[in-house]
Chains A and B, each alone.
Chain A
Amino acid sequence: MKPFLPIAAAVLLCSSCMPVPFDLALSQGAAATSRMTRVNTSLITVKTGFDPSTRDFAFYPQILASGPDCSNGFVVSARDLSPQVTAVKEASPGTLNSYSGQSFFIANPDPYAPPYAAWPVQVGTSYFLGITFDALDPFNLSSYILLQGDPVAGTMTTVGGFSGPMASRILSDLGVGNAGVIGASVSAGDTAGTFKRVHWLGANTGVPGQYLEIAGQVSAAALVMSATPRGLFWADLSAFIPNGLTRCMYFYDEDPARLPNRSFASWWDTGKGGWVSYAWWEEPTTGSGVYFHKQLPIDHRLDALLSTGQLLSTEGSMARLYDRDGNLQASFPLGNLVYIGEEYVGGAARCYFSQCLIYDHTLHFNVYWIATDQLTTLVD
């Protein structure tokens, strides 16, 4: 008995330092990925230094004509109030090195955190559409940044010089002044996967309550402004968009099979202390200038409008799928998976997710996809 107690005490002390082989987020992520397909053939290791306080790592592979390619891409993360975007380039199969990166300060990142980023789109060489909030003045309407990154060359620059943000440039290209973008999104584009679409919601800085919706098309050659979906009219949306709103999650459904075309916006209602979502449309036809709107029964942040017309929320690492009227269709935990975008490959839409695994102080990533119309199968 006498030697037993000190030995047992020593064992208790030592084993209390042992880590528990469990992490709920990783477990839930594994449950989701068990029904997905992995893009990368082997684990992607990214050689980059990072502060231990950095979180929410996601890997955005570059997009080639054949689909996402994990040999180059971007790593997006959050550290304190600073979203960070880093270009990473393949050094050897399965290992990527970091090159230049950029950080952005967000005065009030929550509840929009994790970093408000969008799928990298290829324009010319390689662009990363880093839609995030600039920062210096969080109440500045012109607060979106378009990053141009070329992971192969190891460059990362902002487009447009940023005395005038890209949003202004886009608007000026269209001949519209006095607008600042408060929401933007990237859609899967066409079924052939040859281009993606970006949509912007601009607010009239001169006349409160007036808004303009703009669409852009990304091709291998350029970012081209397409016709504004609802025409070059300032729409009065003051009936439901709070005056002074500077940021929101914005989507536009341009699928001709789902008429009338709906716009969606989701923002943090500081008075309510929660998310609110609205849909609006024109009747009898898009472009008529006669607007209707409805509040959707959704109290979570909307992160994507999918090609199926479903709205996707990933707030709190929980995926929630809603129909266009806001009815919840399915929910399932994402764990450590981060939704990074939707892409057409072989004519079928796929949703892509990034999974980050950190061990030995090194970042490792997997990228998975599942057919968009199969997302509901992830419900246990």
Chain B
Amino acid sequence: MLATLFCALGFGQESVRLVPRRVMLVATVSQESGFAPGDALMIVRSLHQRLQEADRDVIFVEPEMDAPAATQEDLAALAGRTGADSWLQVSLQGDWTSARLHVRAFDLLLRTSVADLAMSRTSWGSAGGLSQETWTEITQAIAGKYPMLESSAPASAAPQLARLIIRALPGSLVTGLGSPPLRIGKDGTAFRMLPPLKEYSFRTDLVGYVPVSTRIYLSADREVDLRQVKSSTWGLEASLADSRAPGADISVYFPASSLFARTGFSTYALGLALDSRGILLDMPLTNLSLQFGTYLSPEDRLFRFYVAVGGFVRMVHAPDTRPLLDRLAPAGIRLAVGTEVPVSDRGKLYLELTPTFYPTSSPDALRAALGQDNGAPGWAFGPGEALNILSFRVGYRWRPG
């Protein structure tokens, strides 16, 4: 029928060749569902892989960016922008342990519905639970439903290239699209000719901005607009040292470098005891700290590592006496080796190992301060100093836009 249609339109009079269909895959998550925004991407990737395995004559593509596609008209428009001639939509409700799926597939060329399925899945649990079998019902419904098109366009002997135009801030450096890296020009664009019908991943860096990692499917000439977010020069954090002492810090990030400075406090006056002493701690001790450090990993890495070193003073604020430096160990030197992971656009959780060096005039008294039941693990004592290598800090780090 399609062949006849194309013939009626004047195609097919010359030598013909078969062109695979292109089907856009899109997942939508209802706001009431228990799925996180990133879950839809993982689910559609899993389905993408199974569909591609089930029907190698169809090119399944994903839209470059999330776009509202509530109606069939929206989906058709999005498919057009994606370079697809059909679409398949997976609507997700429920959550990982009780997922409800509604799958609709439509052929935009034939203007017919290919599939309309509803199903539930209770065995997922997480993205890791998406087995091949979970998609069998869908792949069987889709496989073979998008036949290839006959085309009279001459097949070139030479490999065809598509133009990928990247729009970004001038001076940005794009890597991952072959050598040499691509530099965005003053007009805010740069392009590179690339073999089409392939997926590409590239990374865009610009000093003072958060690096952007992009993954696209290049079917034909296309433009990609990058949204680059300026790196914040300051941030706030809340922490818990050694599972006991809450604290807060303010950080300053030096532009055009990975260096940072951090100052703040942690206090044992309203901390957690979680031992035989009870639940809450009320020791009249607060540490005031200053640190300098550098990140070892790029900002967009899932695990971003850093090191810092600094000092702190120990303030004693006992009732009926004015605040004073602790005479037993008035100050300390602290190394921090940590990593942070993003939990939102602006927020990261972090975990630090914080070995701490205490100069002290009385190591024996500091040792006794740890309690009768020590050797405290991780502590070592010298003639004028003490070292604690098993000290940790966890916290939440927030950087404004």
Interface residues of A, Cβ cutoff 8 Å to B: 1, 4, 7-8, 11-24, 26-31, 33-34, 43, 52, 318, 333, 355, 357-361, 364, 380
- Cβ-Cβ contact count across A and B, 8 Å cutoff: 129
Whether A11 contacts B321 by the Cβ 8 Å rule is no
Interface-central residue, B342, B377, B394, by most chain A CB under 10 Å: B394
- Complex-state Cα separation, A26 to B364, whole angstroms: 10
Instruction: Using CB atoms, name the residue of chain B closest to A23.
Output: B369
Whether B371 contacts A19 by the Cβ 8 Å rule is yes
- Complex-state Cα separation, A359 to B370, whole angstroms: 8
Residues of chain B contacted by A358 (CB below 8 angstroms): 368, 372
Query: Interface 1/0s, chain B 362-401, versus A by CB < 8 A?
Result: 1011111111111111100000001010111010000000
Q: Taking chain A's interface residues, is the majority helix, strand, or loop, or is none over half, making it mixed?
A: mixed
Picked from A1, A8, A15, A20, the residue with its CB within 8 Å of the CB of B281 is A20
- Complex-state Cα separation, A22 to B343, whole angstroms: 34
Could you name 23 residue pairs across A and B whose Cβ atoms are closer than 8 Å? A1-B302, A4-B339, A8-B351, A13-B243, A14-B392, A15-B392, A19-B370, A19-B376, A20-B283, A20-B369, A20-B370, A22-B369, A24-B284, A26-B365, A27-B316, A27-B327, A31-B327, A34-B327, A359-B364, A359-B367, A359-B370, A380-B322, A380-B324
Residues of chain B contacted by A22 (CB below 8 angstroms): 268, 283, 285, 314, 326, 328, 369
Q: Give 18 A-B pairs besides A4-B349, A24-B316 with Cβ atoms closer than 8 angstroms.
A: A1-B342, A12-B243, A12-B392, A15-B392, A16-B242, A18-B243, A19-B370, A20-B242, A20-B281, A21-B358, A22-B328, A24-B283, A24-B285, A34-B361, A355-B365, A357-B365, A357-B367, A357-B368
- Complex-state Cα separation, A13 to B243, whole angstroms: 7
Whether B369 contacts A26 by the Cβ 8 Å rule is yes
Interface residues of B, Cβ cutoff 8 Å to A: 240, 242-245, 268, 272, 274-275, 281, 283-285, 302-303, 314, 316, 318, 320-322, 324, 326-329, 339, 341-343, 349, 351, 358, 361-362, 364-378, 386, 388, 390-392, 394
Residues of chain B contacted by A33 (CB below 8 angstroms): 362
Q: How far is the CB of A9 from chain B (nearest CB, A)?
A: 9
Whether A18 contacts B321 by the Cβ 8 Å rule is no
Picked from A21, A27, A52, the residue with its CB within 8 Å of the CB of B386 is A21
Q: Are A31 and B341 CB-contacts (below 8 A) given A357-B367, A361-B372?
A: no
Instruction: Using CB atoms, name the residue of chain B closest to A380.
Output: B324
- Complex-state Cα separation, A1 to B374, whole angstroms: 35
Instruction: Using CB atoms, name the residue of chain B closest to A4.
Output: B341
- Complex-state Cα separation, A360 to B361, whole angstroms: 20
- Complex-state Cα separation, A359 to B361, whole angstroms: 17
Residues of chain A contacted by B320 (CB below 8 angstroms): 318
Whether B242 contacts A18 by the Cβ 8 Å rule is yes
Q: Which 3 A-B pairs have the closest CB atoms?
A: A16-B243, A357-B368, A23-B369
Whether A357 contacts B364 by the Cβ 8 Å rule is yes
Whether B272 contacts A26 by the Cβ 8 Å rule is no
Q: Are A31 and B376 CB-contacts (below 8 A) given A15-B392, A16-B275?
A: no
Residues of chain A contacted by B394 (CB below 8 angstroms): 8, 11-12
Residues of chain A contacted by B329 (CB below 8 angstroms): 21
